[in-house]
Chain A
């Protein structure tokens, strides 16, 4: 029995220029010996030929540079979204196009609950697509008047609770005067709770508690099943609280032989002073293993565009909403960046609005003068409204960008009509300009905000279609090859893993996406429809639906 396996495929896209296409790839000890024709590889010695994928197409495993393991836990709730979405077990939950359809699905889930008290929670409800829809506690009361029920909007900013949940939270009373709690004609809350503060009030009563910190094995496994289904072999958890128990759970689960994905959690900057934060991520880094890479920091600089909490430069929001919120003070940001540069700790920065991006660029430029930090690769995450000058500056400073391509499809129409207006909507998530500026580019889904699916994300960057079919800024479209690079080597580069992952070449990890078709041969409009058989991680095959 040889310890060399040679995988045979219909086609192998290596993502390296000197041999872009191959038919075979040789693997030993979980790493790639080489790719080419069989006779090129036979010289490594005795091998086992694995021809299970002889009719498939292999690519480097996809790297998702901005997602959250919470996607796994989300599926404990009832999916109420407008768009079809596949759960970890491969069931595609049809998008719900009316309030009554949402209520029917909740009723079915309610009827299946074993007792009378367990709260029922739904997620991804999106009334933006249902003009005139009324969805308040009264509608939810038709599911149950006694069991606490709450449904989260797709934006993540609004939650609707039924009367039982409000009552448990002490909120079903007169005299509530709060902008987050619209009142009905009866003087009582409608059950529509706006914003994070309202969520804090209701969350403990409806099972929307500490999903970020959980990392229970069952949730991690649900997350991993989605990774396999989408060809994803490396994925971030950006950001995570990373409490001791959560890290221990991740460390244990990721070391199991049947664990199919490399996980890269970044610790949130919240909760620790900068000096302690650096020490903590350096301590966490020691707990890394092959399939768990710790040691990075995530900073939230501002909020979200569709929630009107992103920080925008002049002229601000298209609909006149006041500017958004800072989630970190500039001095605080500066101190973390300086310390991280000095300690060579990677930092990824959530900046949705262009003012938040500008603050990071200016702060980093100053910090770099004190601590040069060569090859730091600090990454602007989302960076949705950056203009050409900002992208050029990011490139000069040695930064990377990870643009939120999926936003173009899911919220493009809202950006066009409400948040930033037509002109800026056309240049949002400016992938073309980023590449032309020389800034290393990744693109992402931010699951569970939008569904995990690197090929879908690539499709968004290639086609820039909104959900209504509008092409938002065709000048910012990139080619299929460029998009495929962004979801492999590009994302790996932002994680300092491009020497280890992201292409099929000698020495790298044997991490592959196993595809039913050649994404470079299909029509670019159908890139998202290329089937995924599963993945190979470190030379071990994982079939979708069988993990």
Chain B
């Protein structure tokens, strides 16, 4: 495989949490990335009609080289079929069913060859989350979803109101103190936070900063110890929401690192990828000096 493992992002959360809205937002702002969306089987057609270019038996062809399919009998088959497409999707988004535990699916993916989990994103409907958490049928499922998230997107802040947002944040803090939590109204989340930043080839500047966020590019000149790097990126003091890029490990081998909040994953990089790591944080929230020290360079 010259492209490295197929990156996968899981989108979890109960029915009505806004997964579909977020998916459409990401498709509209894919910015040249070929996204493959795998949706579960319940609910209305998940893709806005104007994004659909052609509908096949098993697959919707979408604007910008993106595709959408429903998960078949076997997720492995679905992913193998997507990986075999030419050109291959840059990223797969799996929208899980409302009662699915994303941790279980993440476990499944960890066993498959040629795929790499990038992030577990769980959407939490701020209007209903605290009531749902008390629901005798659903409470433990909702709470487990929150605990299994790398990144939590709080949706419907307008409907929840400040008091509702506070209640929901308190709930999340109690369940998953280390979770990275961002807010989104109507699915408007900077795509780079969900899909990970993209170092652009041939440029030394990272992608334009997303509104309300800062983005820094580091090009480590020397090999880095993978464990030290992983621990550093997960340190809340540095303010990293997401990081992604390629570095050389102590053995001199190129490694792809992805950080989502406190979760850091390492995998094989695409062939020929140039060393360079993009870091995203809240506006004014990154610690450039600390990051530069971590990477052994000066940030830009």
Q: Could you tell me which A residues sit within 8 Å of B by CB distance?
A: 169-171, 176-181, 195, 197-198, 200-201, 203-204, 210, 212-213, 241, 270-274, 311, 322-323, 325-332, 355, 359
Residue in A closest to B75 when the chains form the complex, CB atoms: A200
Judge whether B74 is part of the interface by a CB distance below 8 angstroms.
Answer: yes
Q: Known: A326-B141, A327-B99, A359-B137. Contact between A169 and B41, CB under 8 A?
A: no
Known contacts A171-B111, A179-B107, A210 near B74 by CB under 8 Å: yes
A329 to B140, CA, bound (A): 13
The answer to whether the Cβ of B14 comes within 8 Å of any Cβ in the partner chain is yes
Secondary structure at the A interface, as helix, strand, loop or mixed, is loop
State whether B99 touches A329 (Cβ < 8 A): yes
Residue of A nearest to B42 (CB): A332
Are the CB atoms of B111 and A180 closer together than 8 Å?
yes
- A326 (CB) vs chain B CBs: closest residue: B99
Tell me whether A330 and B111 are in contact in the complex, defined as CB-CB below 8 angstroms, given that A200-B76, A201-B76, A241-B73 are known contacts: no
Kindly list chain B residues whose C-beta atoms are within 8 Å of the C-beta of A311.
137
Distance (Å) between the CB of A403 and the closest chain B CB? Answer: 23
Closest B residue to A316 using CB positions: B140
Known: A181-B111, A332-B98. A355 touches B72 (CB 8 A): no
Q: Is the Cβ of B76 less than 8 Å from the Cβ of A178?
A: no
Residues from chain B with Cβ under 8 Å of A171 in the complex? 111
Any A CB within 8 A of the CB of B210: no
Q: Could you give, for residues 60-102 of chain B, a 1 whenever the CB lies within 8 Å of some chain A CB and a 0 otherwise?
A: 0000000000101111100000000000000000000111010
User: Could you give, for residues 174-208 of chain B, a 1 whenever the CB lies within 8 Å of some chain A CB and a 0 otherwise?
Assistant: 00000000000000000000000000000000000
CB pair A170 B113 closer than 8 Å: yes
Residue in chain A with minimal CB distance to B101: A325
Give the interface centre of B107, B108, B111 by most chain A CB atoms within 10 Å: B111
Known: A213-B73, A271-B72, A273-B43. A330 touches B137 (CB 8 A): yes
Asked if A273 meets B42 with Cβ closer than 8 Å, knowing A181-B111, A197-B108, A200-B75, the reply is: yes
Q: What 6 A-B pairs are tightest by C-beta distance, nearest first?
A: A197-B108, A201-B111, A326-B99, A170-B113, A329-B98, A332-B42
In the complex, are the beta carbons of A200 and B73 less than 8 A apart?
no
Q: Would you call B110 an interface residue if the criterion is a C-beta within 8 Å of the partner chain's C-beta atoms?
A: yes
Chain A residues with Cβ below 8 Å from B42 are 273-274, 329, 332
Q: Which residues of A contact B14 (CB under 8 A)?
A: 329
User: Is there contact, CB below 8 Å, between A201 and B112?
Assistant: yes
Please name 16 pairs of A and B residues whose Cβ atoms are closer than 8 Å in the assembled complex, sorted by A: A169-B113, A170-B113, A177-B110, A178-B110, A181-B111, A200-B76, A201-B108, A201-B112, A212-B73, A241-B73, A271-B72, A271-B73, A273-B41, A329-B99, A332-B98, A355-B137
* A-B contacts besides A210-B73, A326-B138, A329-B97, 13 pairs, CB < 8 Å: A170-B113, A177-B110, A178-B110, A180-B111, A197-B111, A200-B74, A200-B76, A203-B74, A270-B41, A273-B43, A322-B140, A326-B141, A329-B42
CB <8 Å contact, B99 and A328: yes
Q: Do the beta carbons of A176 and B111 come within 8 Å of each other?
A: yes
**B139 to chain A: closest residue by CB:** A323
Contacts of A181 in B (CB 8 A): 111
Q: Does B104 contact A (CB under 8 A)?
A: yes
Closest to B140 in A: A323
Q: How many residues of B contact A (CB 8 A)?
A: 29
Q: Does B15 contact A (CB under 8 A)?
A: yes
In the complex the two chains form, is A330's CB within 8 Å of B107's CB? no
How far is B137's CA from A359's CA once the two chains are assembled, in angstroms? 8
CB-CB under 8 A from B43, the residues of chain A are: 273
Contacts of A272 in B (CB 8 A): 41
A191 to B15, CA, bound (A): 37
Inter-chain contacts of B110 with A (CB < 8 A): 176-178
List, in ascending order, chain B residues with CB within 8 A of A179's CB: 107
Contacts of A271 in B (CB 8 A): 41, 70, 72-73
Q: Are B76 and A329 in contact (CB under 8 A)?
A: no
- Whose C-beta in chain A lies nearest to the C-beta of B141? A326
A179 to B107, CA, bound (A): 8
Contacts of A195 in B (CB 8 A): 104
| Residue ID in chain B nearest A202 by CB atoms | B111
CB-defined contacts of A274 to chain B, threshold 8 Å? 42
Q: In the assembled complex, which residues on chain A have CB atoms less than 8 Å from the CB atom of B99?
A: 325-329
A176 to B113, CA, bound (A): 12
**CB distance A329 to B107 under 8 Å?**
no
**CB closest chain-B residue, reference A212:** B73
In angstroms, Cα B41 to Cα A241, docked, is 14
CA distance A172 to B73 in the complex (A): 26
Residue among A178, A195, A198, A326 facing the most chain B CB atoms (10 A cut-off): A326
CA distance A473 to B199 in the complex (A): 66
Q: Is the CB of B15 within 8 A of A331?
A: yes
* Inter-chain contact A329/B15, CB cutoff 8 Å: yes
> Could you tell me the distance in whole angstroms from the C-beta of B104 to the nearest C-beta in chain A?
6
- Docked pose: A176 CA to B107 CA in angstroms: 10
User: How many whole Å from B120's CB to the nearest CB in chain A?
Assistant: 14
In the complex, per-residue mask of B109-135: 1 if CB is within 8 Å of any chain A CB, else 0: 011110000000000000000000000
The answer for the CA separation of A397 and B269 in the assembled complex, in Å, is 58
Select one of A197, A241, A270, A328 contacting B107, CB under 8 A: A197
Residue of B nearest to A170 (CB): B113
Chain B residues whose CB sits within 8 angstroms of the CB of A180 once the complex forms: 107, 111
What is the CA–CA distance of A331 and B138 in the complex, to the nearest angstrom? Answer: 11
**Complex: chain B residue closest to A332, CB-CB:** B42
Nearest neighbor of B43 in chain A, beta-carbon distance:
A273
Residues on A with beta carbons closer than 8 Å to the beta carbon of B104: 195, 197, 325
Distance between Cα atoms of A130 and B27 in the complex (Å): 54
Residues of the B chain whose Cβ atoms lie less than 8 Å from the Cβ of A328: 99
Most buried by A among B41, B72, B97, B101: B41
What residue in chain A is nearest B97 (Cβ atoms)? A329
B12 to chain A, nearest CB (A): 12
Closest chain B CB from A412 CB (angstroms): 28
The closest CB in chain A to the CB of B105 belongs to A197
